Amino acid sequence: MSKWILEGVSKIFDKTIAVNNISLELEENKIYGLIGRNGAGKTTLLKLLANQLEPTRGVIRKGKEALKDNDSLSQEVCLARETINMLGIRNLSVKKIFQIASDVYPYWDNEYCQDLIKLFSLDIGQKHIKLSRGMQTMVGIIIGLASRAPLTLFDEPYVGLDPVARELFYESLLTDYEKNKRTIIISSHLMSELENLFERIIIIDQGSILLNEEMEAVHEKAKVISGDKAYVEKILKDKKVIYRQEIGRLANYTVFDSFTEEELREFKDLNINYSSINLQKLFINLAKGGNFNGEE
């Protein structure tokens, strides 16, 4: 098995840079969260990985094998989305769409597909174009799960789903992932429900990667530190400050860094408060700050 690698990948539409010089290695058998605001470049990046778009610059490869013009390698990637852009496909029944998917993806598990159809109470006799938005999302989810593709990509897989359906999806994904390991990327701008699924996160903004870290490191390093600005800035001078908010002499700092026991004791001595923050708050403050040096 080989890693998927992106080397200096950019995608430009007219004068709009959707993906900007991204270099990235995707580890095998890991669930990634691809986090970003609407328009950050998430869908474009997934389409590039699925060989549905060609990079303007850069190379995508698996090991030494380039993805461009490589049909067999493309079959190892499944991009599951709520929308199907080809009108001819959208006018087909869901049953026929699953039959086509079974021919496209070499690792397709038809028995598992049937189990998921029952689980999600999906009417496969309906034309895709006639389904509700939530049911169209469910078709994409079932294709993504049943494809068992070594690289499976879910693009905002909660669109139109009610809380019960979303929970069924999360449970199905984790259960199947434990039995059939593969690399999974879930793109999202909502994190409260998904954070516990992710083993590693990639935060993207304006087409560039702002953060690429293990979730364990995020839980350990992401903190809000507040207190007298003069004291706090002195302590944080060599730390990665993502975002600052000042109120007179006081300031709040979002920091992504490690701290020694001695540093934490110094916080207490100087009456400086610190606390961990969740992924959503880290994402919001990183997007507002936009960097790791505290400049705004």
Residues 6+ apart with CB under 8 A from 20: 10, 41, 206, 207, 208
> Residue 169: its pLDDT value, please?
94
| pLDDT, position 203 | 92
Domains and CATH numbers, the chain: 4-206 (3.40.50.300), 217-289 (3.30.70.2020)
The reported pTM is: 0.90
Per-residue pLDDT at 116? 97
How does residue 94 score in pLDDT terms, banded at 50, 70 and 90? very high
AA letter at 6: L
DSSP per-residue string spanning 172-212: HHHHHHHHS--EEEEEES--TTTGGG-SEEEEEETTEEEEE
Quote the pLDDT of residue 159.
Answer: 85
pLDDT at 293 over 60: no
pLDDT band at 188 (very low <50, low <70, confident <90, very high): confident
Q: Range with the lowest mean pLDDT among 16-30, 46-60, 243-257? A: 243-257
Residues 6+ apart with CB under 8 A from 65: 2, 73
